Amino acid sequence: MLSTLKPSLVHTAPALANVAQNPALVGLPIQLRPGGATPRTVTLNLKAEEVIAEVAPGMNFSFWTFNGAVPGPMLRVMEGDTVVINLSNDSKNTRAYAIDMPAELRPNRDTVVTNLMPGETATLTFSAAKSGAYAYYGAGAETRTTHAAHGMFGLLLVEPLGGLPLMQKEFYIGRSEWYLGSTRKLALPIPGLKMSFFDLDEQKILAEQPDFFTFNGHTQALQTIFTNIVVDQYDQVRLFFVASGPNKGSDFYITGQIFDKVYTGHLDSCVKNARTAFVAPGSAAVFELDALVPGKYIGLDHALYRMAKGAVGFLQVNQNSDPFHLFFPKMTTVGI
């Protein structure tokens, strides 16, 4: 069952302008980490944080986050690494939290180990046994559906032994869906934010009727909040993509581009030359492309009505000094 919590009309969670995750924060590629691409113990720190922030211009929402951003941090390790996750539950939070880490292979996984009350900290340790890109989630007394719908998810990348080939540019994208319910009041005024915000509507979740779709936690996250998905002509570009659900997958597409490779499972196996690729809810994928032609490209969900609800961003390809001509020979007016 979904959560039946009856929240008060006044909310005391910290407020932020937005929780949009910076798409440039992808972690250090395995081939570049000090000491070389050999298995080791990797320690990662996550904090469960409840915040009020914009989900769309002028519309605030009650977010549950990892480290105050949606999606949570991209976690980057290598096959064979021992992964140590220190999870803390912010003392200002109102509920217990755990973490659902699908790359950890054992029954009941993490929730017994890291089901934390506000102010508590615990450690989860596991071996990164299988390479690939995986979604991780918040957990607790409420369902994972509720945690996903509040924005509590992220991407774990397990690179294969030796690491992925290096590329010029890498970016991190999380696609979410938002179900806005009744409004509540903030306990204290916050400069730049309205005094009210929307809580989660679980009946809309059951009906699968989201109000918004977003990339990186805000309808304008990859349009105006972050304008740093910028590459140079001829760059090899890698995109790490996670679809939080809880109901809808993402038909990811960039206008005017073809993905050279799409990885939805083991990072040794890919689909080549894909125009659109589906990422199921609760799943992650890796997209690669060559930025051959300069211009401003639109990244969107090819279930096109979702673009009107916020699932849109931009990829800027800056022109190289030696322009690439797509059509040969050049068109001419001779003979006309």
Domain coordinates in residue numbering, the chain: 10-164, 172-176+211-318
Percentage of the residues of the chain whose pLDDT score is greater than 90: 70
* Domain pair 10-164 / 172-176+211-318, same fold: yes
Indicate whether 1 pLDDT > 70: no
The type of residue at 121 is T
Highest averaged pLDDT of the listed ranges 98-112, 214-228, 318-332: 214-228
Report pTM.
Answer: 0.89
Residue 76 in contact with residue 28, Cβ under 8 Å? yes
Name the DSSP letter for residue 71: S
Indicate whether 314 pLDDT > 80: yes
Residue 18 in contact with residue 53, Cβ under 8 Å? yes
What CATH class has 10-164? mainly beta
**Mean of the per-residue pLDDT values of the chain:** 87
pLDDT at site 3: 38
Residue 291 to residues 110, 194, 251, 318, Cα–Cα distance (Å): 40, 41, 20, 9
Indicate whether 274 pLDDT > 80: yes
Indicate whether 15 pLDDT > 70: no
Q: Output phi, psi for 279, to 5 deg.
A: -115, 115
Q: How far apart are CA 206 and CA 203, in angstroms?
A: 5
- Give the mean model confidence (pLDDT) for residues 305-327: 82
Helix (H) or strand (E) holding 144: helix 144-149
- Give the mean model confidence (pLDDT) for residues 195-205: 87
Helix (H) or strand (E) holding 262: strand 259-263
pLDDT at site 316: 96
- Give the mean model confidence (pLDDT) for residues 188-210: 80
Indicate whether 48 pLDDT > 70: yes
pLDDT at site 265: 86
Indicate whether 47 pLDDT > 80: yes
pLDDT at site 5: 35
Weakest-pLDDT range from 68-72, 77-81, 115-119, 329-333: 329-333
- Give the mean model confidence (pLDDT) for residues 2-12: 40
Percentage of the residues of the chain whose pLDDT score is greater than 70: 84
Angle, vertex CA 245, rays to CA 239 and CA 248, nearest 5: 95
Q: Could you report the per-residue pLDDT of 231-253, keeping only the tens digit for each?
A: 999 999 999 999 999 999 999 99
Residue 9 to residues 12, 60, 94, 187, 197, Cα–Cα distance (Å): 10, 15, 14, 9, 10
pLDDT at site 142: 78
Indicate whether 161 pLDDT > 60: yes
What CATH class has 172-176+211-318? mainly beta
